[in-house]
Amino acid sequence: MEPHELLHALQTQRLVAIVRGSDPDAALDTVLNLVRSGIRLVEVSLSGAEALGVIERARRALGDDALLGAGTVLTAEDARRAADAGAVYTVTPGVTEAVRASRAIGLPVLAGALTPTEVVAALAEGATAVKLFPAGSGGVELLRALRGPFPRVPFVPVGGIDDARARDLLAAGAVAVGVGSPLVGRAADGDATGLTERIAAFRALAEEAA
């Protein structure tokens, strides 16, 4: 996946689903459910159980066109193994060695940053977009503040984002939002109660913002 392709996907889809779970089979089912329900950008966090295996099995099930990414990528080895498993982009919690390593092996990166200095560092390392993390309850104000000096940087707020905050952040200029438990719930741990309804709600929100 080329950087411009990831950026286009973020601009058009407006939503990245984040899957992190303790049950690899349930996590796989969750990924498949999300993608087949129309949420195209799915990040599988490497902090989940057997996450690389989940990515690999999801890639086999979904084919080459699925926009599967690896999250919580911290090291160059993480990036390499994620690419081998079938991830087409990486997501980091900060400006780690994984940003440069991902670019070196041809993967675009959503690099985590919170301060102006970190945003500059992420861009210098080749990040395609900046994961504003942790966005938290002050995300809208933080996003607006950072867009002042960085009006052309594509920001993707992540962390503590429910549907109301997602709507506000997209309206405030976020290119997309990354959403974990408010969307996925405990589906990746084996309890998919309410997942279908949450997928529909977040899809509707993203489509409104597109």
DSSP at 188 = G
Positive or negative: CA dihedral 167, 168, 169, 172? positive
Q: Is 141 designated active site?
A: no
- Reading the block at residue 64, the tokens are 């080459």
Q: Is 2 designated active site?
A: no
Candidate list 5, 56, 125, 131, residue with the active-site label: 131
Q: From edge to edge, which strands make up the β-sheet containing 67-71?
A: 155-157, 129-132, 109-113, 89-92, 67-71, 41-45, 15-19, 177-179
Candidate list 2, 5, 43, 141, residue with the active-site label: 43
- Reading the block at residue 129, the tokens are 């977009």
The residues annotated with a catalytic role in the active site are: 43, 131
